Amino acid sequence: MIWNWQQKEWPNFSFEADVLASREAKFMQSSGVFYGAYKHITEDEKKVLLIDIICEEALKTSEIEGEYLSRDSIQSSIRKHFGLQPATDNIPPAEQGISDMMLDVFENFTTPLDHKTMHAWHRMLMANRRDIKNTGGYRTHSEAIQVVSGYAHKPIVHFEAPPSDVVSEQMEAFVNWFNATAPNGKNAMPAMTRASIAHLYFVSIHPYEDGNGRIARALTQKALAQSIGQASLIALSQTIQSQKNAYYDALEANNKNCTITDWLTYFSDTILTAQNNAETLLDFILAKTKLFDRLKGQINERQTKALARMFRAGPEGFTGGMNADKYVKITSTSRATATRDLQDLVEKQALSKTGKLKGTRYWLIV
């Protein structure tokens, strides 16, 4: 099998730019709308949005690679960063590492890319790993890096990366390309085109022993942020994780040559979906602000706490809906008081009610 990095064209990818033009225009327009709405929420609500998106991205980019981390620990790490939680909380290394990398991507997107930055990301990701020879450095071992599936006696090779002895040279070319194609670079590219190529280009080199997928998605976010001049608040990894097989199929279909229109259309559509998902979250937070403003002075501390807990579940909703038993646990009150409080929230049109008796459930009206 001949891979893309073995082609004479490499790394000069070719594609049909006109196929992407309408998608690029839609992305920039939607970005303007999103950040226009973002300006109208409070600083506290901006922190809530940032924490939600960064936490979900950290979780999902790890899950794509089969690593399942603690949501509470990641959220604690991010909240600690924003001064919303004591610095004394003990966060496991894996959760702390992915949080640190995502925060660095979100906060330092304007800086040009360099090897030092990527090596620092790799050290963050590999903080608890003892099986990695080069933590914070490109791979150097002589064994071939392959992506395989199937049985050990009859493996299916989906991709083989360049040998380690050419990785430094390949990555030097990648860094130069990334910076040259930035908005102010000499070969500036449209936002999604550049981000999509960066992702495929990086994973094709596969420069690290592990963590390449997570760093590739971080580079995608950095590229998009540089193009729009704002931290990229899109749910990229969440969107990829929801259709993980399609993501890996698209990568495999485009790792054998340097003509990549199919990859660019697939990944651009994924970015647009991720952007829509972030818009849904922003709308949800705006709805939360409006609801609490409307209810100000009309609800008690227990009701405020319960509503806040329901909103933390996000746009997908509080799992199974709210009921009297859950309300009792959240607010440490009696069942009779819980029933009265919930009925009052229904009358105030904060919650809707479904079912009867033990099957009664309450849902946010947003």
Residue-wise pLDDT tens digits, 58-85: 999 999 999 999 988 999 999 999 988 8
Residue-wise pLDDT tens digits, 283-334: 888 888 889 999 999 999 999 999 999 988 888 788 899 999 999 999 999 9
At 88 the pLDDT is: 65
Q: What's domain 4-284's architecture?
A: Orthogonal Bundle (1.10)
Residue 46 pLDDT exceeds 90? no
pLDDT averaged over every residue in the chain = 94
Tokens encoding 185: 């670079």
Q: What DSSP designation does 162 have?
A: P
Strand 154-160, strand 351-354: pairing: unpaired
Domain 302-364 listed as CATH 1.10.10.10: yes
pTM of the shown model: 0.87
Residue 146 pLDDT exceeds 80? yes
Query: Per this entry, what is the length of the chain?
Result: 366
Domain with CATH 1.10.10.10 in the chain: 302-364
Render the burial of 89-127: b for 16+ CB within 10 Å, e for the rest: eebeebbbbbbbbbbbbbeebeeebeeebbbebbbbbbb
- Three-state DSSP at 340 gives helix
DSSP for 92-146, written as a single string: -HHHHHHHHHHHHHHH-TTSPP-HHHHHHHHHHHTTT-SS-SSTTS----SS--E
Domain with CATH 1.10.3290.10 in the chain: 4-284
Region 97-107: what's the mean pLDDT? 97
User: Which of 118, 119, 69 is CA-nearest to residue 98?
Assistant: 69
Cross-strand pairs, 230: none
Region 234-248: what's the mean pLDDT? 95
